[in-house]
Chains A and B, each alone.
Chain A
């Protein structure tokens, strides 16, 4: 009997010479990368034109593990870097892949402005409810009253409703899945990658080492069960209603927003053409 060894189809997207990766056993980031790699396989985009930009943090390390043109930038600033990359060469497909602390806390200002401008990039936000890289501090996504090292007696704040934030600022595609929903997530990522304009995908993911342990929420397997049991798929849900204020609330997942409107460059070129006529050469079109 002979055995045929088959290469994992996502291996071509990974910098295997950098493995093993730094993520803890049970962490959800690797699952998200697997889904992303499969989405890349399906999306039909020329891989030489696909760029990954990350900020800082556990998810910030994604850029370093993907065999694409990849940029590991500064904390919170992946989106403005991606904006420069995309506007300077509109032929590129630019994906920002970072964490909740990076994108919603220190980088929150850039998130809302990129969505408002409708810059043609895809933002993937892995939300593990706390700061992993620095050891489990409170994030703007931490559930109300849950414990982190900088809120040892419980978080008095309320978390961001990230899909609603992105949608209300003008994102044309907004979705949320958990790392339990690998099939749905992969399909959604294919759509997000091919969507023109600012697309935002939130991926809820377990952080077993810090968030689950400190809050006595069990293992990653327990969190998978929690994701499975608490999740309700509601495509087109009103994003006002998808907030995750407390841990026991139902988790609404699905594709919430999918609209079409001109992106930044469409508007830029149209306005310049109107005012400058033949003196203006459309940029990147």
Chain B
């Protein structure tokens, strides 16, 4: 039986009360509430406020922030801090996220629990630094070379930036994966009321420390139930070895052993796919008897609310909203159930390559039409466009 130890937030990191702050500031406060005590970052628009707030707050909380020389350094520096025993994160956007890819793979391979925050902007390349997009959704899943699975979470408001980044840290610890917290410029720079609860109301997961002694402990021996191994940290006498090479349960390189490689890579994927039902998180609105389903995430799901309202007001069309909060892994069973009932699923998102819609198509397998409603970013959808797509699909 996998042992997950839940506790409540360390009061030092919790700024209880009502605040009027943007999503970037809220994400930082959420990270501190979740127990994050180390961040390494490099300034990049539109994510910079996260590192600025971290730099200002962390000395008062009992932690460390360092601005590194680039995103490559940031994305591995934080992993050193994790192996020293702290919860750690980095934050970036667009080009910086591209530079971090190798170390997302390193975290996946070494099973280093950590959080990568991506405040998405338009690309490719320098793109639209000050404007939103949701164009990194596939990169966040597959961007590093090789096979691995990770978890993607997408908030729609500053309040959710606070709340769901706590989920991101908890899931990172439970499954020992890098969790991608996929914000966008719009949510990052949107200022709203954010209510931070008392520390005892915030649930956080402790690291999966081993209860074995040095000599008995195997760094990559998985828990038989959830396939996740238990951790140690540097300095405790375990004399353990960590490598990005394919490794056996001792953590020793086995880079030419087909069987060990196969077992390791399958386990890295299966610890997410087999536990997916424990990771899923979504929200439904008016899905009981809808004819058209809008399936979306992040800022696009929020914009879609107005399009849905218009369709109801003007045409009386019954439209439901299915908002993915954990975008990956996806709640496939529930999506299939709805696909069997509705006339069509429309997927508004701020990319034109149907990055999430193509996953929905794969899950729905023709049970109903899946209509990607792409927008290249640098803005959000006009609710009229969502309304028009609904009217068209309802014909």
Q: What residues make up the interface of A, taking CB atoms closer than 8 Å to B?
A: 15, 18, 48-49, 51, 53, 63-64, 67-74, 77, 80-89, 91-92, 109-110, 113, 272, 276, 279-281, 283
Given A73-B244, A83-B77, also A88-B102 (CB < 8 A) = no
Contact B76–A72 (Cβ < 8 Å): no
At the interface, yes or no: B243 with Cβ under 8 Å from chain A? yes
Contact B83–A85 (Cβ < 8 Å): yes
Given A84-B88, A85-B81, also A281-B40 (CB < 8 A) = no
Contact B235–A92 (Cβ < 8 Å): yes
Over the window 148-176 of chain B, the binary record of Cβ atoms lying under 8 Å from chain A Cβ atoms (1 yes, 0 no) is: 00000000000000000000000000000
Contact A84–B237 (Cβ < 8 Å): no
- Of B78, B81, B236, B252, which is in contact with the most chain A CB atoms at under 10 Å from its CB? B81
Contacts between the two chains (Cβ within 8 Å), count = 131
Residues of chain B with a CB closer than 8 A to A91's CB:
235
Contact B102–A74 (Cβ < 8 Å): yes
When C-beta atoms are compared, the residue in chain A nearest to B60 turns out to be: A279
CB distance from B52 to the nearest CB of A (A): 16
CB distance from A15 to the nearest CB of B (A): 8
Residues of chain B with a CB closer than 8 A to A71's CB:
80, 83, 241-243
Given A84-B38, A113-B69, also A281-B62 (CB < 8 A) = yes
Contact A80–B245 (Cβ < 8 Å): no
**CA–CA, A1 and B73, complex, Å:** 60
Residues of chain B with a CB closer than 8 A to A80's CB:
40, 68-69, 72-74, 76-77, 80
Pairs A-B, 9 closest by C-beta atoms:
A84-B80, A88-B84, A88-B81, A85-B80, A72-B243, A80-B73, A84-B77, A89-B84, A84-B81
Residues of chain B with a CB closer than 8 A to A276's CB:
59-60
Ordered by A's residue number, 20 sampled pairs between the chains whose C-beta atoms are within 8 Å are A15-B241, A18-B252, A53-B80, A63-B241, A64-B241, A67-B239, A71-B80, A74-B244, A80-B40, A81-B79, A84-B78, A84-B88, A86-B84, A88-B85, A88-B86, A92-B235, A113-B68, A113-B73, A276-B60, A281-B62
When C-beta atoms are compared, the residue in chain A nearest to B247 turns out to be: A72
Residues of chain A with a CB closer than 8 A to B68's CB:
80, 83, 113
Contact A280–B234 (Cβ < 8 Å): no
**CA–CA, A49 and B238, complex, Å:** 10
Residues of chain A with a CB closer than 8 A to B73's CB:
77, 80, 83, 109-110, 113
Contact A81–B80 (Cβ < 8 Å): yes
Given A80-B68, A281-B62, also A87-B242 (CB < 8 A) = no
Contact B38–A88 (Cβ < 8 Å): yes
**CA–CA, A146 and B300, complex, Å:** 58
**CA–CA, A70 and B236, complex, Å:** 12
Residues of chain B with a CB closer than 8 A to A279's CB:
60
Residues of chain A with a CB closer than 8 A to B239's CB:
48, 67-70
Residues of chain B with a CB closer than 8 A to A85's CB:
80-81, 83-84, 234
In residues 170-224 of chain B, which contact A (Cβ within 8 Å)? none
Residues of chain A with a CB closer than 8 A to B233's CB:
89
Contact A87–B81 (Cβ < 8 Å): yes
Contact A64–B252 (Cβ < 8 Å): yes
**CA–CA, A73 and B83, complex, Å:** 12
Residues of chain B with a CB closer than 8 A to A51's CB:
234-235
Contact A87–B237 (Cβ < 8 Å): no
- Of B64, B80, B86, B252, which is in contact with the most chain A CB atoms at under 10 Å from its CB? B80
At the interface, yes or no: B385 with Cβ under 8 Å from chain A? no
Given A80-B77, A110-B73, A113-B73, also A88-B64 (CB < 8 A) = yes
CB distance from A263 to the nearest CB of B (A): 13
**CA–CA, A72 and B110, complex, Å:** 10
Contact B59–A89 (Cβ < 8 Å): no
In residues 62-99 of chain B, which contact A (Cβ within 8 Å)? 62, 64, 66, 68-70, 72-74, 76-86, 88
Contact B234–A72 (Cβ < 8 Å): no
Contact A64–B69 (Cβ < 8 Å): no
Given A83-B66, A84-B79, also A272-B103 (CB < 8 A) = no
Contact A89–B234 (Cβ < 8 Å): yes
Residues of chain B with a CB closer than 8 A to A86's CB:
80, 84
Residues of chain B with a CB closer than 8 A to A18's CB:
252
